[in-house]
Chains A and B, each alone.
Chain A
Amino acid sequence: MAPTSKLSIGIKRASRSHAYHRRGLWAIKAKNGGAFPKAEKPAAAAEPKFYPADDVKPRVPSTRKPKPTKLRSSITPGTVLIILAGRFMGKRVVFLKQLKSGLLLISGPFKINGVPIRRVNQTYVIATSTKVDISGVDVAKFDDKYFAREKKQKAKKTEGELFETEKEASKSLPDFKKDDQKAVDAALIKAIEAVPELKTYLGARFSLRDGDKPHEMVF
């Protein structure tokens, strides 16, 4: 009969000493100098003072990055846009480029209709099919930082000064911005005057009249 580990219920095939020898603990003990190697107990962690009542999962930070704003296919550099809202509503204006924030960089030109170099949102603008040649205009230096608000310098006030009114920081346009306007407009105006009637077109404001149906208009 082949050897089985059990002869009967409760009776093993190997005797106590035979089983001990088979397990080989004696070899490990010998290797370790007579005693079985004891694993070091990990240092007991200090008991936390506070256990939250419910198990709350820690929030994983979002890895979503917003996509850059898509520019409408009807808006290309040099397109004449109609501004629909705000201080310059109805003005016809030249589109220069799209900034990284998604806003559109436009210029009146200032001399023609009083619109300075400005940012405008795509949704507040109608693109017309009229295009101006802006190959001669350099707009590389304009970005969103150019239009950032100037941080107010808060000087520490002494007790006496606290009760005086704060000196109003000059709100006039810095000179370099006026020069930038002139530089951009010089090239623009040259391109505009080359086209008959474009100057008066840009100077005129758009308005809806009686009987006008914007949904049927072609801009």
Chain B
Amino acid sequence: MVKGRTGQRVRLYVRGTILGYKRSKSNQYETTSLVQIEGVNTKEDVAWYAGKRMAYIYKAKTKSSETRYRCIWGKVTRPHGNSGVVRAKFKSNLPPDSMGRKVRVFMYPSSI
């Protein structure tokens, strides 16, 4: 993450919001999370993001590898519905307190 970068900060990821888990009315499936990517509003727009990697970044009290920031990596798997929401699978399931928090959707693996 922040490796003591003193130069320009560049954002090469799109911000996304974690909406919760894939679910039906009374059952939820925590292996898949739902993410709303900024600026993506239709199912057709999601095609560009399919397979792109995402990172959920959070802070912990103890330091591991010199930093308190920790990360769970994942990727966009498919669109969810017609309005640009996206399904995502992470290396380990996202914790429930991630709901409503930000996720970084990177632009790689790129196919442009």
Contact = CB atoms under 8 A, between A and B. Distances in A.
A84 interface: yes
B29 interface: no
15 contacts: A84-B108, A85-B12, A85-B106, A89-B12, A90-B10, A90-B12, A123-B109, A123-B110, A124-B110, A125-B110, A205-B10, A207-B8, A211-B39, A215-B39, A215-B45
B110 A126 contact: yes
A114 B10 CA distance: 16
B71 interface: no
A206 to B, nearest CB: 7
A84 B39 CA distance: 20
A127 interface: yes
Contacts of B106: 84-85
Contacts of A208: 11-14
Contacts of A212: 39
A213 B112 CA distance: 14
A154 B108 CA distance: 39
A72 interface: yes
Nearest to A219: B112
Interface string A70-102: 001010000000001100011000000000000
Interface in A182-219: 205-209, 211-216, 219
A209 B45 CA distance: 18
Nearest to A211: B39
A126 to B, nearest CB: 5
A126 B8 contact: no
Interface of B: 8, 10-14, 39-40, 45, 47-49, 106-112
B54 to A, nearest CB: 13
Interface of A: 72, 74, 84-85, 89-90, 122-127, 205-209, 211-216, 219
Given A89-B12, A208-B12, A213 B110 contact: no
Contacts of B45: 213, 215-216
Contact of A215 (B10, B11, B13, B40): B40
Given A212-B39, A213-B40, A126 B10 contact: no
Given A213-B40, A215-B49, A127 B112 contact: yes
Contacts of A72: 111-112
A126 B112 contact: yes
